[in-house]
Amino acid sequence: MPSAALPVLYTFRRCPYAIRARLALAASQIPVLHHEVSLRDKPAAMLLISPKGTVPVLQLADGTVLEQSLDIMLWALHQHDPLGWLPGCGWDDAARELVATNDGEFKRNLDRYKYPERYPELDQAGHRQQGEVFLRTLEQRLDGQPWLAGAHAGLVDMAILPFVRQFAHVDKGWFASAPYPQVRTWLDGFLESALFAGVMEKR
């Protein structure tokens, strides 16, 4: 347990799970000590409190360890939610299901699309097509409302956006003309936000 009174966040800058955790921590304005880790050489102090070895991990001042990104988001927003991400999203069954699909099927397809050489059962376009099933779901949800949560951004948006960002970045040219205009506008608004810029700052 570090002696500092602040919670310690073990994080990796580009990890979408870590980004969603940092977004909620930033939104909640809770100060934490950021510990950027190398995934190839994880710090012993992190593995001691969270042997599963994934980031993000948040160790609270009382020693409690949160080792799932969604738990970190919910903890942070339950402390302080000035942007109204919890009521905004409702965190209802539909939101949970969307995030579960993101973390399951979509993340699986994202990895295959990003690293097609590791998954030769389909070519890259084939993996992308599988990922597009989720983009279509998002496109429908965003039809008539700017955020998945409705009129305002919510936890459900922030939990999913970092993953869609990665998907879009695999082939920016393709994404720019893909038939998902609402998803594009939603993602662009996020990428241009000060909140996103803040959590991506190099430390």
Ligand X SMILES: N[C@@H](CCC(=O)N[C@@H](CS)C(=O)NCC(=O)O)C(=O)O
Q: Whole-number minimum distance, CB 56 to ligand X, in Å?
A: 6
* Closer Cβ to ligand X, 22 or 128, answer by number: 22
- Return left, alpha or beta for 9; rule: phi > 0 is left, psi -120 to 50 is alpha, else beta: beta
* Closer Cβ to ligand X, 53 or 87, answer by number: 53
Q: Whole-number minimum distance, CB 165 to ligand X, in Å?
A: 13
Which residues does 140 contact at the CB level (< 8 Å), separation at least 6? none
Which two structure tokens, joined as six digits, stand for 137?
A: 């779901």
Q: Whole-number minimum distance, CB 57 to ligand X, in Å?
A: 8
Footprint of ligand X (CB under 6 A): 12, 15, 17, 39, 53-56, 68-70
Q: Whole-number minimum distance, CB 20 to ligand X, in Å?
A: 8
* Closer Cβ to ligand X, 108 or 152, answer by number: 108
Q: Whole-number minimum distance, CB 140 to ligand X, in Å?
A: 25
- Please state, in angstroms and as integers, the Cα–Cα distance from residue 144 to each residue in 64, 155, 183, following that order: 41, 19, 12
Strand intervals (E) in 12-169: 33-36, 57-59, 65-66
* Closer Cβ to ligand X, 49 or 178, answer by number: 49
Q: What is the spatial distance between Cα 198 and Cα 195, in angstroms, rounded to a whole number?
A: 5
Cα distance between the two ends of the chain: 22
